[in-house]
Every structure is written in C-alpha cells, then in structure tokens.
Amino acid sequence: MNFLKRLMPYLKPQGGTLALAYACMVVLGITTAFYAFLAGPALKFVFAGNITDVLRSSTGELRSVWTWLPNDWVGSIENLDRTWALLTMPVLIVITAIIKGFAQTGQFSMLGRVSQCVLRRMRADTFDALLRQSPSFYSKRAHGDLLSRLTHDANLVEQAVFYGCAPLLREPLVVVFLLIFCFLTDSTLALVTFVTVPLAVLPLARFARWLKRVSRRGQDYQGAINTTSYEALAGVQVVQAFGTEANERDKLDRAADRYYRQMLKSYFIRAVRTPTMEIMGALALAGLLGLLGYWVQTKNADPAHFISFFVAVVMMYDPLKKLGNVTDYLANGAAASDRIFEVIDHKPDIIDQPNAIALPPFTDRVEFKNVTFAYNSTPVLEGIDLELRTGNVVALVGSSGAGKTTVANLLPRFYDVTQGSLTIDGHDIREVTLASLRKQISVVSQDTFLFNTSVAENIAYGQPDATAERVREVARAAYAEEFIRALPKGYDTEIGERGVMLSGGQRQRLAIARALLRDTPLLILDEAMSALDIESERFVQRAIDALMVGRTSLVIAHRLTTIRRANTIAVLQGGRIVERGRHDELLALNGEYARLYAMQFQQDEKPETLPVPE
Ligand code: ADP
C-alpha cells in the first residue's frame, strides 16, 4: 500500500519501539489463542461436575493437541490431586489474563509512542516545507487549507498509525495463532476455515478504496471550512464594519454542507460494510457449525474439542472485524497523507543551486540587466535596467500596478527573473546562497508583520544574541523609545497578534528598529502610502532617515523628501522604466514623472525639514 510505503521513513527511526510493540502483539496473539484452548475444558469443568474426568479429558487434549509437550509434564498434570485440579483451570485463566494484560499495556503504550513520533516528525517536515516555499506557492493556496494539513491531516495520519497500522500487524497475528490452534486440533477442518476466512475478508478491500476516495474529498472540504473561517476571523473587523456576518456565515454553511454530504457518504459506506461483513461471517460460521456437528458425530470426537475449535473460529471474527475498522483509519490516513505529502514533495521554485557560493559582503553595486518578469505567464516587467551603487538611494515611482513592488521583490529573490539577470557586485543572485543573499538585505514594508511576543523580542527578531542595551539603542534611533516606555511593561509588553496593541506608526517604527538592529548594507523600503497622523508621520520619517544613513537603498517612494534625496528616480509605467534621473531633471521633462508629481507628491511640497538623528 502506497500509504505505508510513504510512512516508512517516519516509522524506521522507531524500529526498536515497533519491534517491542510487535513482541507484545505476539504474546497477545498466543494468549488469545490459549483462551480458545481453555474454553472446551473450562466448559466441561463447569458442566461435568466430575473434576477428575475434566482433568483427564483436558490432559488427554494436551496429549493429542500439544504433542510437543514433554510426556512427563502431561503425566504430572494427570497425576495432580483433586485440590490442585480444582485450582488449575481458574488459575490458568487468571495467569493468561495477566500475561495478556501486560502484553496489551506494552503494545498500547509503545504504539502510542510510535504514532506520536510519526506525527511530530511529519508535522515538522510539513512546516519546514511550508517555510521553504516562495510567495508564488502561497499566492495559489489558502492559508486556512495549509493550516488544516498541518493540524487536522497530520492528526489523521497519527490515528492511522495507531488505530490502523497496529491492528494491521496485530490482528492477523491473532488470526494466525488461532488458525495454528485449529490446525493442531484438526487439520481438515482447519483447512476449510482457512479457505472461508479470506472469503469473508475480500469485500473489505473494496470498501477501503471507496472510503479513501470519499475521505480525500471530505478532507479537502475540511480545508475549505478552515479557509473560510480563518479568513473571516482574520478580517473580523472588516466583516463587522461591512455588516457581512450573514454572508460569511453562508459561506461557512456552504463549505460545511459539502463536508456534511461527504461525511454522510462515509458513514453510509461504514454502515453497509458492517452488516456485509457480519452476513459473510454468519455464512462462514453456519457452514462451519454444520461441518463441526458432522465431524463430532462421525468421528465420535470429544465435545470439548468441538467447543474449543468453535470458540477459536468465533474468536477469529473479532480480529477480522477490527481489520474492517482499520480500513476507516487507513483510508482517512492515506487521504490525509496525500494532502501532507503534496506539501512536503512540493519542490520550492526558489532554492540554492548545487554549486551556490556565499555572497561576499556588498561593496560596489546592484545591477538589474534587461530584466523581464512574468507572474505565471502574464508579463509584468520588461527590459528593466537599473543600477544601484553603494551608498546611493534609488527611488521607484509610478502609479499603482506599475511594477514597483515586483522590482523590489526580485532583489531578495522572492521571485526569480524570467529573463535577464540581477547581479550584486557582479554575482548573479541565482548563483549565491539564499541565506547569504538575504543576510545582506533588510526589507521594511508598509504592512509590518509583528509577532505576538514582547516589544524587545520583536525588535530582536532573528537576532537572539542582541543585548538589551543594543535593542534600546536601535529603538531610540528609530524614535520608538518614548512610546515603548509608556507601554505597561515597557520593552516586555506583549503586543498582541500582528501587534494589534500598537498604532500603525508605532508598528512601523518597531520594524525600522528591527532593520537597524540587523544592520545590513542593502535596504528595501516600501514607504507607507497610508496616511499616518502628522505626529506619527514625522517620527516615522525621522526613523527612516536614520535607517537609510550609510546604506544602499531601493525605495518604493511615496514621499517628496525621499525622491528629492534619491540619486536616481526610476519612473515605472506598465512594467517599463519610462524615465529616469533626478527630481529636477525629470520635472523638466514634463512627462510621466511631472504628471505623478502633480498628483502624488505636490501636496508634500515644503515639508518640514527634519534633522537626521545621530
Ligand atoms: P506596484 O507595486 O507598482 O503597485 P506591483 O509590482 O505590485 O505594482 O504589480 C505589478 C503588476 O503585477 C500588477 O498588474 C499586479 O496586478 C501584478 N501582480 C502583482 N503581484 C502578483 C502576483 N502575486 N501574481 C500575479 N500578478 C501579480
């Protein structure tokens, strides 16, 4: 089965524990079969009333069935006195139960360990795979669905290992030991049983395939439920502001309805399977019962044999039924693992080349050479030539959708150029390691992502070695110290998911402090377009000024101060650079820049000049 093959790498490290669990299962199989062996004599013990007869018959049984037992053992059992005989049967039952109990505890806890280890490693691998994926992967998939794979699907695989794979190993073992017992009792009868049992199991395979198909669809719909609820909760304020609670509820209902229908199918399959299995089982038993009756009569056999044999066959039904239930877990697990391995197997499109070198520290220039770029097949950038020299500021301006963000995203290799090349000090960025490239670039974007930890931890994100003193220093330089001190616990204040407890301007200043701490030579800055209040704007601008000092910056510019200071302004229109130069030169051209200036930047004219902080 493909599912088990895929699980092998996860099961292998658990080989020792699995072997122990398996040893427990063997003991479990033997003790279960031993119960069947005890059944006949035990019943006779109850009904015959004459203990000596019972003992005789059971030791007679011992002689014929367990021929490998040393003769003197059988003899000594035969010679037991009446008191011992009275004790033998109950004691044997209790001892068997105790051994069986230990075996059960052992296999249960060991399998629990194995399945939990599989879950932990598989979840870690899925998470690793997710962290490696580039933005293009995420643009095609919903976060809610991916989260569902990481949690719900991983749990289904864990359950499949525990409730699925374990019985798959254990129950056949029980059946095998019961069959061995049957063979030792009467080989012809056992042969008949041996042929009938697989007949009863045959329909199981069909049900399993059917269930897997339904489960896969069910889990996809479960992913859709997660996506819908995740989005609605993440944007709950928008939902409330627009009064669209009912729409969101409808969306969830639709997703839940599709899931509900798949689940009904799944329950129906299981509902049909149980009676089918029982009818098959009843047919097999009915046949056997007839045969056994015939056998007892014609061979004048001991009814104790008959009872033991019959009990063995009846006991076989239970493991077979459990094997039937296994298909549920395996079908769910197989479908869930398909969804998980889709992520794990997805080769990220941005990876290190096998011979990638570490990018040496930036010294000279970044060059975009005739760069063309397309998302999927839609061309977005064409013939971009751009040079960014050390210590310079290049401002990208253009109307919305012109391609500014796309240009900026190429530098840290969030996407690879479709044609042309992007070099840093002459090294094509596709030929250097991602880690060494990204270590030299800080990105400060409009929508700063902050984690639900303390202010200090957010500033020191990715730099756990930073001292508290250094964190305070960068916070001061980013004009953040004042508001941080005013927070209830200062630097130790938890700022809530995505930093909800802070204002937009405060969040940006934390992001700038974070970039200051990273202290990279290259800076990509996406200036906020969203209007901050004048006070905030002033502080953010000062912080940005502090950040840009001594760095080489590529700025998606929305502020006049930035474009005024830029060494080069590149004006983008429809994915091409249509004008480039300094502010005054471009204004004089009276082209696209002059138009943008009139629309976007003029209102910033005569800004307050702010000192660059030390
Ligand atoms: P700007 O930053 O100048 O507003 P962008 O670089 O964000 O422009 O977008 C340029 C073009 O690329 C737009 O037409 C936009 O719709 C498209 N685009 C941006 N991101 C993606 C994406 N992930 N997939 C497909 N198209 C995209």
Residue range 320-372, pLDDT digits in tens:
777 777 878 888 898 899 999 999 999 998 999 999 999 999 999 999 999 99
Query: Are 344 and 129 within 8 A, CB to CB?
Result: yes
Q: Measure 537 CA to ligand 1 centroid, in angstroms.
A: 26
Residue nearest to atom 23 of ligand 1 (CA): 139
Distance between Cα 546 and ligand 1 center (Å): 29
In whole angstroms, what separates CA 91 from the centre of its chain? Answer: 50
Other CB atoms within 10 A of residue 114 CB: 25
Q: pLDDT confidence of 50, banded at 50, 70, 90?
A: very low
Q: Which residue has the least CA distance to atom 15 on ligand 1?
A: 401
What is the SS3 assignment for 555? strand
Q: Is 401 in the pocket of ligand 1 (CB under 6 A)?
A: yes
pLDDT tens-digit map of 188-243: 777 877 776 666 667 777 887 888 889 889 888 988 898 888 888 888 878 888 88
Pocket flag, ligand 1, residue 377 (CB < 6 Å): no
> What are 523's strand-pairing partners?
442, 553
Please check whether residue 169 is in contact with residue 22, taking contact to mean a CB–CB distance below 8 angstroms. yes
Span 578-601, mean pLDDT?
Answer: 86
Return the pLDDT at 428. Answer: 94
* 82 CA → ligand 1 middle, Å: 93
CB 464 within 8 A of CB 519: no
Q: Pick the range with the lowest mean pLDDT from 25-39, 407-421, 478-492.
A: 25-39
Give the pLDDT score at 230.
85
Q: Where are the beta strands (DSSP E) in 327-408?
A: 365-375, 378-389, 393-397
Res 41: pLDDT: 67
With a 6 A CB cut-off, is 406 part of the ligand 1 pocket?
A: yes
Please give the residue that has the higher pLDDT: either 304 or 614. Answer: 304
Q: How confident is the model at residue 51 (pLDDT cuts 50, 70, 90)?
A: very low
Ligand 1 pocket, residue 405 CB under 6 Å: yes
Crossing angle for the helix pair 303-344 and 15-48, to the nearest 10 degrees: 160
**pLDDT confidence tier of residue 385, bands split at 50, 70 and 90:** very high
Q: What is the pLDDT of residue 500?
A: 73
State the Cα–Cα distance between residues 551 and 530, nearest whole angstrom: 25
**Mean pLDDT across 570-593:** 90
For 337, counting Cβ atoms within 10 Å of its Cβ (0-12 exposed, 13-18 middle, 19+ buried), the class is buried
The closest residue, in CA terms, to atom 14 on ligand 1 is 401
Helix (H, G, I), strand (E, B) or coil at 169: helix
Look at residue 531 in the predicted model and tell me its pLDDT. 56
- Per-residue model confidence (pLDDT) at position 418: 92
Residue 71: pLDDT over 80: no
Specify the higher pLDDT residue, 421 or 527.
421
Nearest CA to ligand 1 atom 5: 403
Distance CA 340, CA 333 (A): 10
What gap in Å lies between CA 442 and CA 119, rounded to an integer?
35
**Residue holding tokens 């401002």?**
395
Cα of 572 vs centre of ligand 1, distance in Å, is: 13
Ligand 1: which atom is nearest the Cα of residue 400? 4
Does the Cβ of 380 fall within 6 Å of ligand 1? yes
CA–centroid distance, 289 to ligand 1, in Å, is 75
Tokens of residue 80, six digits: 């037991």
First to last CA, the chain: 67
**Residue 49 confidence (pLDDT):** 47
| Whole-model pTM over 0.85 | no
Residue 302 and residue 318: Cα distance in Å, rounded? 26
Structure tokens given for 361: 């520290």
Type of residue numbered 558: H
Condensed to tens digits (0 to 9), the pLDDT of residues 99-157 reads 999 998 998 899 999 999 999 999 999 999 999 998 889 988 888 889 989 998 999 99
Per DSSP (E only), the strands in 419-548 are 419-424, 427-428, 441-444, 522-526
- Ligand 1 atom nearest residue 396's Cα: 3
At residue 81, the pLDDT reads 45
Ligand 1 centroid–CA 225 distance in Å is 28
Using pLDDT thresholds of 50, 70 and 90, give the confidence band for residue 609: very low
pLDDT score recorded for residue 472:
92
Does the beta carbon of 404 sit less than 6 angstroms from any atom of ligand 1?
yes
Instruction: Work out the pLDDT band at 613, boundaries 50, 70, 90.
Output: very low
User: Measured from the CB, is residue 375 less than 6 Å from ligand 1?
Assistant: yes
Query: Which value, to the nearest 10 degrees, does the dihedral of the CA atoms of residues 149, 205, 171, 1 take?
Result: -50
Amino acid at 499: G
Q: Is 410 in the pocket of ligand 1 (CB under 6 A)?
A: no
Per-residue pLDDT, averaged over 577-593, amounts to 89
CA of 560 to the centre of ligand 1 (A): 23
pLDDT at 496: 75
- Please tell me the predicted confidence (pLDDT) of residue 608: 46
CA of 399 to the centre of ligand 1 (A): 12
Please report, as a single letter, which amino acid is at residue 310.
Answer: F
Residue 501 has pLDDT above 80, yes or no: no
Instruction: Judge contact between 557 and 396, C-beta under 8 A.
Output: yes
Query: Does ligand 1 come within 6 angstroms of the Cβ of 15?
Result: no
Query: Which ligand 1 atom is the nearest neighbour of the CA of 556?
Result: 2
- Of 349, 368, 380, the one to substitute when testing ligand 1's pocket (max ligand atoms within 8 A of C-beta) is 380
Burial of 313 (0-12, 13-18, 19+ CB in 10 A): buried
pLDDT tens digit string along 526-571?
Answer: 886 555 666 677 777 788 888 888 889 999 988 777 888 889 999 9
Residues of the chain with pLDDT > 90, as a percent, come to 32
**Chain center to CA of 336:** 10
HEC sequence for 283-329? HHHHHHHHHHHHHHHHHCCCHHHHHHHHHHHHHHHHHHHHHHHHHHH
Cβ of 225 less than 6 Å from ligand 1: no
- Ligand 1 neighbour 90 (Cβ under 6 A): no
In terms of pLDDT, which residue wins out, 9 or 171?
9
Q: How far is the CA of 71 from the centre of ligand 1 (A)?
A: 88
- Is 319 within 8 Å of 175 (Cβ atoms)? yes
Structure token pair of residue 324: 């039937």
Distance 290 CA to ligand 1 centre (A): 77
| pLDDT at position 388 | 94
What does pLDDT average to over the chain? 83
Q: Which of 371, 373, 406 to mutate to test the pocket of ligand 1 (most atoms within 8 A of CB)?
A: 406
Q: How confident is the model at residue 600, as a pLDDT?
A: 73
C-beta of residue 109 within 8 angstroms of C-beta of residue 20? no
Residue 541 and residue 382 in contact, taking contact as beta carbons nearer than 8 Å: no
Closest among 151, 269, 248 to 203, alpha carbons compared: 269
Q: What is the pLDDT of residue 82?
A: 47
